[in-house]
């Protein structure tokens, strides 16, 4: 009996040990297969990573080759014009203008240097230099320096504060003068490329490129006494102090404007006097020393808005609202009316109730830009114009005889 129990026990132990061995073998096999699958997955991922690294290295190599070869790139504008070729064509025509302004103070006399740009133009065989009025205004000891470093004394032939234009002559030999061509700016369109060449911060012969971002703008400058400079070109070409007076060019190297102003703290917003203004005035500036044919309406005002229209109980949301007429001026003589009461609109105190100019000679007037541009481009002192106004919600037509703008306070 005891032997039988002992044999049974031994058998059970063998069965248990065998079961454990088989179970362990099965478990090992399962773990091995699982780990093997994971290892294969990891190996596949590593292979993918290695391929990605190889691709990145290939891309970096290509980029490095592109950077190495970038010096061989030729930048092309419209009509297959190369910027470098255009620059070589015009660089000798742009000059640095320097002078001094005298200030008499409590402790004596001070001299402040002024600096800008200008360009050469051939006016009926006479070589002149065109620049901005504000560059040379009230300046003495004016000089011009060509890009080759040669400098010469210069004198002012004439200037127009209302258009920010001035014309100089220089005591330089004929070989120095390489004139630019001035073309009609009326053909300009928004989006066209333009090139500015000048001397920002005295850095001679600097070029910048942009587009025409708007046309028919109106700006005012210190010397205009609050009167607008009309039909101004707005451009994205980067401008800086010292660019003033330099040419704004089209892709053919023709002058379409003269750079005149920048807006402080703006990004890519500059202005240029259109070449049409230069062509219209240059003869008078050379021959008479001034230009006195700016038409004058004799009124001040503001652009209409939806909020102003609501306050005036009118449905006309565009046009130019007359705030005040000058006693004895053209608008006053024609019976146009200024504002009648104060109103607080959109955070501002505004004089409302005046006539709203909505058209001149059947041309729609949306704002001051339209008004100033139309008058400057299409009218002259002594001309009668038909002005369409809104008065007390009634549309009326009034005939106004324009006069010449009064001389600026100098």
Q: CB-based burial of residue 275 (10 Å sphere; 0-12 exposed, 13-18 middle, 19+ buried)?
A: buried
Statement to judge: residues 251 and 389 lie in one domain? no
CATH code assigned at 210: 2.40.10.120
Domain housing 96: 75-291
CA separation for the pair 400, 111 (Å, rounded): 47
**Strands (DSSP E) along 106-138, which ranges?**
108-123, 126-131
Q: Are residues 331 and 355 in the same domain?
A: yes
CA 137-143-147 angle, 5° bins: 120
168 and 247, same domain (yes or no) = yes
Residue at a domain's end among 271, 291, 311: 291
CA angle 274, 402, 226 (to 5 degrees): 55
CA angle 81, 87, 88 (to 5 degrees): 105
Instruction: Answer yes or no: is pLDDT of 358 > 90.
Output: yes
Query: Is the domain of 211 the same as that of 302?
Result: no
Residue 286 and residue 357 share a domain? no
Would the pTM of this model clear 0.85, i.e. be above it? no
pLDDT digits (tens, 9 = 90+) for 323-348: 999 999 999 999 999 999 999 998 88
Q: Tens digit of pLDDT for each residue in 362-380?
A: 999 999 999 999 999 999 9
| Per-residue pLDDT, 132 | 95
Positions marked active-site: 134, 164, 244
**Least confident segment among 200-204, 250-254, 338-342:** 200-204
Total tally of structural domains belonging to the chain: 2
- Looking at the fold, whether 305 and 233 belong to one and the same domain comes out as no
On whether both 278 and 372 belong to a single domain, the answer is: no
Q: Please state, for a pLDDT cut of 90, what percent of the chain lies above it.
A: 65
Domain assignment present for 59:
no
Residue 65 is assigned to a structural domain of this protein = no
For the segment 135-186, what is each residue's pLDDT rounded down to a tens digit? Answer: 999 999 999 999 999 999 999 999 999 999 999 999 999 999 999 999 999 9
């Amino acid at each position: 009996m005891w032997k039988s129990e002992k044999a049974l026990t031994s058998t059970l132990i063998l069965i248990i040990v065998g079961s454990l061995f088989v179970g362990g073998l099965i478990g090992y096999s399962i773990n091995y297969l699982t780990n093997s699958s994971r290892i294969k997955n990891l190996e596949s991922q590593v292979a993918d990573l290695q391929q990605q690294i190889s691709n990145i290295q290939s891309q970096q190599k290509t980029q490095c080759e592109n950077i190495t070869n970038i010096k061989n790139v030729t930048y092309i504008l419209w009509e297959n014009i190369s910027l470098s070729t255009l620059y070589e064509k015009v660089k000798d025509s742009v000059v640095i203008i320097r002078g001094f302004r005298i200030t008499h103070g409590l402790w004596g006399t001070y001299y402040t240097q002024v600096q800008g740009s200008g360009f050469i133009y051939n006016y009926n065989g006479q070589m002149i230099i065109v620049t901005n009025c504000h560059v040379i205004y009230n300046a003495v000891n004016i000089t011009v320096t060509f890009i080759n470093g040669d400098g010469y004394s210069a004198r002012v032939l004439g200037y127009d504060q209302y258009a920010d234009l001035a014309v100089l002559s220089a005591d330089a030999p004929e070989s120095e003068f390489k004139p630019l061509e001035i073309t009609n700016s009326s053909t300009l369109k928004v989006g066209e490329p333009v090139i500015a060449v000048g001397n920002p911060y005295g850095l001679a012969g600097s070029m910048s490129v942009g587009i025409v971002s708007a046309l028919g703008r109106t700006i005012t400058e210190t010397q205009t006494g609050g009167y607008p400079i009309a039909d101004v070109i707005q451009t994205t070409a980067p401008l800086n102090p010292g660019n003033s007076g330099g040419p704004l060019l089209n892709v053919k190297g023709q002058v379409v404007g003269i750079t005149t102003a920048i807006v402080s703290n703006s990004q890519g917003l500059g202005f240029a006097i259109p070449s049409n203004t230069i062509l219209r005035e240059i003869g008078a500036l050379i021959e008479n020393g001034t230009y006195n044919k700016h038409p004058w309406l004799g009124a001040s005002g503001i652009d209409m808005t939806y909020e102003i229209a609501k306050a005036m109980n009118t449905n006309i949301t565009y046009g130019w609202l007359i705030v005040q007429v000058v006693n004895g001026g053209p608008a006053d003589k024609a019976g146009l009316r200024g504002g009648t009461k104060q109103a607080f609109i959109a955070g501002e105190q505004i004089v409302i109730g005046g006539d709203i100019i909505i058209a001149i000679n059947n041309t729609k007037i949306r704002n001051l830009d339209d008004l100033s541009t139309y008058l400057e481009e299409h009218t002259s002192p002594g001309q009668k114009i038909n002005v369409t106004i809104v008065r007390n919600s009634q549309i009326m037509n009034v005939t106004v005889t324009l006069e010449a703008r009064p001389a600026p306070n100098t």
